[in-house]
């Protein structure tokens, strides 16, 4: 097949475009010279002119454009009526689109940029794509190692920051939880205090109610007011005892024994009261028989059942059993009224000790 003849196009400014094999070269116009220029200057060779030659495509774009577009697609766009410069320019700008651009993408680009002021200006040399650097195997391995190192350092740094953030979050959550727990504990403590106070007041009211019932029952049984709490001092208690009659003294010593020993020695107190009751009942029922009017102090039953309880001797004394040395004895006629009241008190207390 015969080689294609170069295409030469003369431009108005005297420049020439020489196209061959899809690559065109722009030859600048010959320099103007004055009439005084010598014939030697007029005879510059084509080789000297070729030093300023700029290689371009048929459309007038830099030659590198031909390396990045399909000249066949450019010819098709020209057949569509687009100037070759615009066709090459459009294909160059859409080359990196998915599918490598193509005719359709180039037509869309031309439609969008048809009114641009520089639409008919050639692509600038500055737009030439950078050539891919071909690395040696060692350089590629070194860059891969550096990239992996950078990624590893970034990952470590990221994990450190994430760990710090997690720790901050944990501390914040722990603080919030502790504050919430403290608040709940404080509220619970207040509720408990309020409950204790309520129970204390309820207990106080119930105790007073029970005491009032006890006073009424005492009044109904014995016909007198129930003795109140002991005086704070012995002098006060002694002064108070002097003002009491026999019946009131019996009630005083019975209640004192009850308060002092009921909690810790309930059963022993019951035995004590039972024994004292026997003494009082015998004296009341047999006022003329001397053996029932005295108690031998060395008697084992008396020593083990009555004597250990503080207030028991005083109770017997009120009932008439006076200390005569070896005996507690009633001299003369027993006071049947006091003994009867003592029996009533003791019966009530013994009934309470059963519960």
Residue with tokens 């010959």: 30
Task: With a cut of 90, say whether residue 69 has pLDDT above it.
Answer: no
What is the rounded distance in angstroms from the CA atom of residue 150 to the CA atom of residue 152? 5
Q: Give whole-number Cα distances, 191 to 178, 200, 203, in Å.
A: 20, 14, 18
| Least confident range of 64-68, 97-101, 245-249 | 97-101
Contacts of 79 (CB under 8 A, 6+ apart): none
* Structural contact between residues 297 and 324, judged by C-beta atoms closer than 8 angstroms: no
Q: What is the mean pLDDT of the chain?
A: 82
Burial environment of residue 317 by CB neighbours within 10 A (0 to 12, 13 to 18, 19 or more): middle
Distance CA 295, CA 277 (A): 13
Where is 327: in which H helix or E strand? strand 327-329
Question: What confidence score (pLDDT) does residue 11 get?
Answer: 57
Alpha helical stretches, state H, the chain: 39-42, 46-50, 71-79, 84-93, 103-112, 137-222, 234-243, 246-261, 266-285, 300-305, 312-318, 336-354
Convert the pLDDT of each residue in 297-331 to its tens digit.
999 999 999 999 999 999 999 999 999 989 999 99
| Whether pLDDT at 22 is above 70 | no
Distance CA 215, CA 224 (A): 9
Most confident option among 170-179, 194-203, 236-245: 170-179
Is the pLDDT assigned to residue 43 strictly greater than 70?
A: no
pLDDT-based confidence at residue 45 (cuts at 50, 70, 90): very low
Q: How far apart are CA 290 and CA 282, in angstroms?
A: 10
Give the three-class secondary structure for 25.
Answer: strand
SS3 226: coil
Q: Which of 35-39, 70-74, 75-79, 170-174 has the lowest mean pLDDT?
A: 35-39
- Residue 338, pLDDT above cutoff 60: yes
Over range 29-49, report the average pLDDT. 46
Q: DSSP for 73-112, please give it.
A: HHHHHHHTT--HHHHHHHHHHTTTSGGG--HHHHHHHHHH
pLDDT at 277: 93
Asked if the model's pLDDT at residue 227 lies above 90, the reply is no
Output 163 or 133, whichever has higher pLDDT: 163
Cβ atoms of 222 and 338 within 8 Å: the answer is: no
Report the relative pairing of strands 322-323 and 7-10 from DSSP bridges: unpaired
User: Which of 22-36, 113-127, 203-217 is predicted least confidently?
Assistant: 22-36
pLDDT tens for residues 106-158? 999 999 998 999 889 998 888 888 766 677 888 889 989 999 999 999 999 99
User: Who wins on pLDDT, 15 or 6?
Assistant: 6
Which residues, listed in sequence order, are joined to residue 19 by a DSSP beta bridge?
A: 7, 24
């Amino acid at each position: 097949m015969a080689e294609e003849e170069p295409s030469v196009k003369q431009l108005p400014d005297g420049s020439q475009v020489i196209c061959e094999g899809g690559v065109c070269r722009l030859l600048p116009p010959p320099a103007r010279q004055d009439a005084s220029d010598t014939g030697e200057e007029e005879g510059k060779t084509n080789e000297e002119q070729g030093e300023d030659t700029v290689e371009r495509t048929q459309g007038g774009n830099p030659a590198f454009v031909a390396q990045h577009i399909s000249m066949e697609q450019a010819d098709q766009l020209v057949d569509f009526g687009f100037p070759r410069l615009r066709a090459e320019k459009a294909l160059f700008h859409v080359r990196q689109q998915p599918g490598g651009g193509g005719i359709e993408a180039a037509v869309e680009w031309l439609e969008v940029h048809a009114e641009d002021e520089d639409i008919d200006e050639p692509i600038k040399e500055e737009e030439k794509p950078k050539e891919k650097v071909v690395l040696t195997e060692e350089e590629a391995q070194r860059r891969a190692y550096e990239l992996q190192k950078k990624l590893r350092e970034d990952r470590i740094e990221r994990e450190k920051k994430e760990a710090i953030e997690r720790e901050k979050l944990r501390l914040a959550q722990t603080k919030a939880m502790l504050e919430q727990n403290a608040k709940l504990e404080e509220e619970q403590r207040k509720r408990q205090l309020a409950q204790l106070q309520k129970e204390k007041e309820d207990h106080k009211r119930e105790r007073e109610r029970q005491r009032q019932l006890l006073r009424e029952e005492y009044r109904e049984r014995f016909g007198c007011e129930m003795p109140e709490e002991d005086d704070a001092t012995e002098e006060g208690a002694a002064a108070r005892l002097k003002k009491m009659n026999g019946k009131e003294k019996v009630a005083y010593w019975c209640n004192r024994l009850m308060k002092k020993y009921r909690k810790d020695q309930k059963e022993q107190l019951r035995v004590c009261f039972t024994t004292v009751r026997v003494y009082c009942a015998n004296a009341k029922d047999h006022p003329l028989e001397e053996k029932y009017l005295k108690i031998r102090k060395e008697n084992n039953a008396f020593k083990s059942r009555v004597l250990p309880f503080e207030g028991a001797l005083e109770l017997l004394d009120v009932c008439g059993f006076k200390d005569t040395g070896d005996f507690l004895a009633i001299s003369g006629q027993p006071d049947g009224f006091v003994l009867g009241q003592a029996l009533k008190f003791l019966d009530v207390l013994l009934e309470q000790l059963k519960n």
